[in-house]
Amino acid sequence: MSKKEEEMKKIKQFIENCKKCSLWKMRNKPVVGTGSSDAELLFIGEAPGSNEDLQGKPFVGRAGKILDELIESIGLKREDVFIANILKCRPPDNRNPLKAEINACAKYLDKQIEIIKPKIIAPLGNFACSFIFEKYGLKFDKIGNVHGKIFQVKTNNSKVKIIPLYHPAVVTYNSKKKKVLIKDFEAILKE
C-alpha cells in the first residue's frame, strides 16, 4: 500500500467513527470517496443520496450514471480519478447541507485534497463550487456564470486548476444540460 493509500485509509477510519454532526445518526454507511489516491483529477459532489448511503460509494445512482458517461467521454475511467463529496453522510430526504454540517465535515475533504494533491479539482454543482471557491480565495458568483471556466490558483506548495461544473443531476430534469456538461468536460481534457 502506498503512503497516500495508507493516509487515505486513516481518514476512512475517522469518518466511519465520526459523530461531529447529527447526520451520523441516520447514516447506513458514510461515503468516504472512491478512486485513485494519486489521481490528477478530483471531482467533488455535494452529499450522498439514498443509493450512496446504502452502498457507501459516491455517485452510484442516476446522477452517477451520468457522471460515469462524462468521465468516459474524456477517455478516463472512474479508477483514474477520485470522487468525493463535501458531506460524507446523507442528509435526510436529500435536503441541502447545512452550514454547520459543512463546517463539521470539511476537514475530511481538506485532508483528502492534501493527500491526493490533484492537478485539477472539478466541483460539481453550487454547494461544491462555492465551497471550493471560498477555500481557494476565489469569489463565487453563480454556477451559470462560471461553469467550464478554468481558475488557476496557487497554494503554499502547489498549483491547482479549478474547473467548476454543473452537477450531473441537472441532466435528470433538464436534458439540454448534458451537452453543456460534455462541452465543459472537454475543458478538463485540454488541461
CB-closest chain residue to ligand URA: 45
Contacted by 120, from ligand URA, ligand SF4, none: CB < 5 to 8 Å by type: none
Is residue 154 classed as helix, strand or coil in its secondary structure?
A: strand
* Site membership for ligand URA, residue 118 (CB under 6 A): no
Q: List the interface residues with ligand URA, window 37-66 (CB under 6 A).
A: 45-49, 52, 58-59, 63
Of 61, 10, 46, the C-alpha closest to 126 is: 46
Place of cell 459523530: 19
Pairing of strands 34-35, 41-45: unpaired
Are residues 20 and 104 in contact, defined by beta-carbon separation less than 8 angstroms? yes
Place of cell 441537472: 170
For the CB of residue 5, give the shortest distance to ligand URA in the complex, in Å. Answer: 21
Q: Give residues in contact with ligand SF4 (CB under 6 A).
A: 15, 18-21, 23-24, 30, 87-89, 101, 104-105
Contacted by 87, from ligand URA, ligand SF4, none: CB < 5 to 8 Å by type: ligand SF4
Q: What is the dihedral of CA 131, 26, 5, 107, to 10 degrees?
A: 30
> Using CB under 6 A as the criterion, which residues of the chain lie in contact with ligand URA when the complex forms?
31, 45-49, 52, 58-59, 63, 85, 169
